[in-house]
Structure 1
Amino acid sequence: MSFASTPKLQQSGVEESSTMSRGLTLLFATAVGVVVLSLYSSQPLVALIGPSLGLNMSEAPLMTTLTLLGYASGLFLLVPLTDLVENRTVIVTTLAIDVLSLAAVACAPTASLFLVACFLTGVTTSAIQMLVPVAAQLSPEAQRGRTIGNVMSGLMLGILLSRPAASLVAEFAGWRWFYGVLAALVATLTLVLMFVVPRRYPQASSSYPRLLGSMWTILSEERLLQRRALYQALCMGAFGVFWTSVALRLAAPPFSLDQAGIAFFALAGAAGAVVAPIAGRAGDRGLTRGATLLAHLAVIGAMALALAGGSVLVRATSFASSNAALAILVAAAVILDLGVIGDQTLGRRAINLLRPEARGRVNGLFTGLFFLGAAAGSGASGVAWVYLGWSGVCAVGAAFGCLALIVSATERPKAMDV
């Protein structure tokens, strides 16, 4: 592995030729995959952490809510700093605070300190969205989609593996150990990044308040950003619907999976992350429109499979039928992740061709907006599960996918081929 070629970019903001070696790409993918583990890991640990800190079941979900709210805050407030301050300094400083926050989560003696630490962890996890535009900046336009796809593979693998990793570590060593080990891993990566990430001095010279104010101007002027954020928000809505409720379905008959079984199911679903580099290459070859439509069809198809595996086939009570239904649910998870990750990779490639001087703000807006879709999906999933069961969950997920397909199919072809 080589981390060579880390020249300093000039104060003028002029981009040099590619410095994104394979080793540096792998490092970025590993870094974002590890750092993002903390974002969703608390979801399967609610039943363990809550009682240990004196939180009842109505209060325990606050740990996930505050982590995600912190992440959203970081996207809108910290990520834009990469357009104002030297990038390596911002990234390393944010990750260093993330290490301290994770250590505080692992050691927190009271519920109040734990929840504050969860929020700070979410805020500093936004460092992953600082690394993505830097990767784009260091790649030539012809290879930018491939580079972003490779880095996104690490990011999405981290998201998909966060739940099973947390479940398995907590089962064998306790939930505090998970956060302690994660703090050590992030600390190690921070030290490596401090020495190998190239320095980049942004072109922006305005004040921080004006920088934040300019985000609304960017969003209102860039139709491509609006469109790609909407596509991904709808896809992430389906993603949130499925992954929020699937653990409940798997724990119920006829599957009756325990914590370890649900963890292995999530591991199988992580196979969908392989599509990120493929989608990036499709964008580089001018196939953005076709690949986007295919991604949205995959989301719809996945929810149809999820309905078949979770509701239709489970009406049969035989062991063989239950195994077949479980296999179909695994296929649904993989295909759903293929569609969501494919659309997100295509979107990131497209938006990173916009405004080189404002990549931090553009990435913050893109991620923050589609994150709202994920939150909406998670919220809708709970309501659908309570009132309509698994069939309702699948119907809501399919509705998100259908809306994404309708919006993308009615877009002007040339406007999508970026």
Structure 2
Amino acid sequence: MIFGASSTFIVANLYYSQPLLIHLSESFGVSYDRISSVPTLVQGGYAAGILLVTPLGDLVRRRQLLLLIITISMLLTVGLAATHSLIAFEVICFFIGVSSCSPQVLVPLAADLAPPNKRASAISIVLSGLLLGVMFARIMSGVVAQYITWRVVYAAACGLQLASLVALWATLPDFPPKAKKGTTYAQILTTMFRLAATEPTLIQVCLVQVGAAAMFTEFWVTLTFLLGDSPYHYGSTVIGLFGLIGVVGVCCTPIYGRAIDRLVPWHVSVAMTIGLLSTFSLYWGAAGVSLAIPVLVTLGLDVFRQSQQISLATRIFMLDDGLRSRLNACSMFSICMGQAIGSAAGSKVFLQYGWRANGALMVAFCLFQLFVLLARGPHTKRYTWFGYEGGLNWRRQQPAPVQDAENGVSSAGTEKEKEEAGDDQTRAPSLEGDVREKDEESEDDKGPLSESQTRVPSPTQDVDEEEKGDTREHTTLG
């Protein structure tokens, strides 16, 4: 719960400015077109933070990393509340985006702590905090700016980040680094780039995330212009309250997680993408005609996008346990790219051509996502780029628990989970060779075995079982 709440208050930094564009335009004396660059700068900074900061979650202790970047973000927010220069405001917005990446350190941490058959549920809790942060930012900034001033929004944001900092300082354990000793920052980045070029599942997920994030951000950035202009003429309070509709998506998050734990994630991704396509087709047809349409689109977007994102995250976290921060960084960087594209393209298309052209662009983003998903089926082997080998089975079989002779029942192995998930049937060892080196060291410690002792252990047996098996064999021989 603390992970989710902290994610809410920190990711809100990325979205406070969106309902404030009209107020910022008036305060700094610039046009809508000029001030629309602010959300783009924030998202660009977030992308830089995802690329350069979050991979450190595999290299350094995550407690210290989280506390440091939250402190930096909090101090920068003070500058936003105080500055009277648009250029300074834009520069600070960029660096706040860089330092607001701490939720993306928490997501793989939640996946590490959860057992394989509960991983989607754990991820969904943190991601629900992210969605709640989007809604909270829009509601709070819209209402406060309407009745007080936009500067109070950022002053309050500073206080909320301080509360998150204190809560994490008091409760977050000191997790050790995941990378082997001697691994450098350059090697971490190199591994991440190699993953982004060689893992078909990761590349497929990243391309879908680009289209989905562009569509999501485009809708929310241009919603201010849609509702503030003819025929609606609403103020920032009403525009901000549209975020309340997303509460439905947050309430459904536990259902999403439990469902995805039982289904092949690819099928969930496809179904939710079709739902998004239907939603934005509705926007394309009548967003500027009836207020009911923006309401329905907001509801559909929050519900379908949340479930889609959980299913995509579940897929990539199955690839390699030791690389989750880097895998998540690749996925989230693609989201940031999509958000920057959506902010820039959506603003320009809406301001120049209107809401209908804006709807057509969002439909195009949905079609792109669907095309990428359908190019590679649910049970395709890990390093196969296209095709539908393995069929279309939609239900994921839960791996049977393994009986440990000493400790009782242990959770099922990750390898079985990968086989049932489809895309990740063949697991390669860690790119850094951690697994291979550990196995070699273990064999050296045991020493050579005689022919009577040599046996092939079951893939699901742990080290304790092997040692007990060897003891039983000695007893039999005696």
How high is the TM-score relative to the length of structure 1?
A: 0.85
C-alpha deviation, 1:380, in angstroms? 2.6
Is 1:391 the equivalent of 2:366?
no
Cα gap change, 1:242 to 1:59, in 2 (>3 Å): closer
> Which position in structure 2 is the counterpart of 1:158?
133
Question: Quick check: 159-168 or 78-87, which moved more?
Answer: 159-168
Is 1:268 the equivalent of 2:240?
no
Is 1:110 the equivalent of 2:81?
no
> Which position in structure 1 is the counterpart of 2:220?
243
User: Matched residues in 1 for 2:351 and 2:163: separation?
Assistant: 43
User: Matched residues in 1 for 2:286 and 2:249: separation?
Assistant: 18
> Which position in structure 1 is the counterpart of 2:375?
410
Question: Quick check: 267-276 or 344-353, which moved more?
Answer: 267-276
> Which position in structure 1 is the counterpart of 2:155?
180
> Which position in structure 1 is the counterpart of 2:449?
none
Cα gap change, 1:306 to 1:57, in 2 (>3 Å): closer
User: Matched residues in 2 for 1:111 and 1:407: separation?
Assistant: 40
C-alpha deviation, 1:203, in angstroms? 2.9
> Which position in structure 2 is the counterpart of 1:126?
101
> Which position in structure 2 is the counterpart of 1:42?
17
User: Matched residues in 1 for 2:348 and 2:39: separation?
Assistant: 18
C-alpha deviation, 1:397, in angstroms? 0.9
C-alpha deviation, 1:37, in angstroms? 0.9
Q: Which residue identity lines up with residue 345 of structure 1 in the other structure?
A: I
C-alpha deviation, 1:73, in angstroms? 0.9
C-alpha deviation, 1:118, in angstroms? 1.8
> Which position in structure 2 is the counterpart of 1:400?
365
C-alpha deviation, 1:31, in angstroms? 0.6
Greater gyration radius: 2
Q: 1:281-325 CA deviation, whole Å, 9 max, x = no partner?
A: 2221133232111110111111122234324xx2xxxxxxxxxx2
User: Matched residues in 1 for 2:86 and 2:362: separation?
Assistant: 34
> Which position in structure 2 is the counterpart of 1:222?
199
Contact 2:18–2:224 (8 Å) recurs in 1: no
* Relative contact order higher in (CA < 8 Å, ≥ 6 apart): 1
C-alpha deviation, 1:84, in angstroms? 0.8
Counterpart selection for 1:211 from 188, 212, 227: 188
User: Matched residues in 2 for 1:257 and 1:51: separation?
Assistant: 17
Cα gap change, 1:395 to 1:374, in 2 (>3 Å): same
User: Matched residues in 2 for 1:144 and 1:227: separation?
Assistant: 21
Contact 1:269–1:330 (8 Å) recurs in 2: no
Cα gap change, 1:381 to 1:117, in 2 (>3 Å): closer
User: Matched residues in 1 for 2:86 and 2:193: separation?
Assistant: 37
Contact 2:128–2:250 (8 Å) recurs in 1: yes
> Which position in structure 2 is the counterpart of 1:310?
287
| Greater share of helix | 1
Cα gap change, 1:275 to 1:197, in 2 (>3 Å): same
> Which position in structure 1 is the counterpart of 2:301?
336
C-alpha deviation, 1:388, in angstroms? 3.5
Is 1:380 the equivalent of 2:345?
yes
C-alpha deviation, 1:231, in angstroms? 1.6
> Which position in structure 2 is the counterpart of 1:8?
none
Q: Which residue identity lines up with residue 298 of structure 2 in the other structure?
A: A
Q: Which residue identity lines up with residue 210 of structure 2 in the other structure?
A: A
User: Matched residues in 1 for 2:293 and 2:52: separation?
Assistant: 41
> Which position in structure 1 is the counterpart of 2:332?
367
Cα gap change, 1:240 to 1:161, in 2 (>3 Å): same
2:173 alignment partner, SS class: coil
Is 1:81 the equivalent of 2:48?
no
2:231 alignment partner, SS class: coil
Contact 1:149–1:278 (8 Å) recurs in 2: no
Contact 1:238–1:377 (8 Å) recurs in 2: yes
Cα gap change, 1:373 to 1:65, in 2 (>3 Å): closer
Contact 2:317–2:324 (8 Å) recurs in 1: yes
> Which position in structure 1 is the counterpart of 2:260?
283
Q: Which residue identity lines up with residue 141 of structure 1 in the other structure?
A: P
User: Matched residues in 2 for 1:330 and 1:57: separation?
Assistant: 24
How high is the TM-score relative to the length of structure 2?
A: 0.75
1:413 alignment partner, SS class: coil
> Which position in structure 2 is the counterpart of 1:139?
114
Counterpart selection for 1:349 from 297, 303, 314: 314
Question: Quick check: 343-352 or 60-69, which moved more?
Answer: 60-69
Is 1:301 the equivalent of 2:267?
no
User: Matched residues in 2 for 1:58 and 1:393: separation?
Assistant: 16
User: Matched residues in 2 for 1:268 and 1:215: separation?
Assistant: 37
> Which position in structure 1 is the counterpart of 2:388?
none
Contact 2:55–2:329 (8 Å) recurs in 1: yes
> Which position in structure 2 is the counterpart of 1:5?
none
Question: Quick check: 185-194 or 256-265, which moved more?
Answer: 256-265
Cα gap change, 1:400 to 1:273, in 2 (>3 Å): farther
Cα gap change, 1:386 to 1:112, in 2 (>3 Å): closer
C-alpha deviation, 1:36, in angstroms? 0.8
Cα gap change, 1:67 to 1:351, in 2 (>3 Å): same
C-alpha deviation, 1:113, in angstroms? 3.4
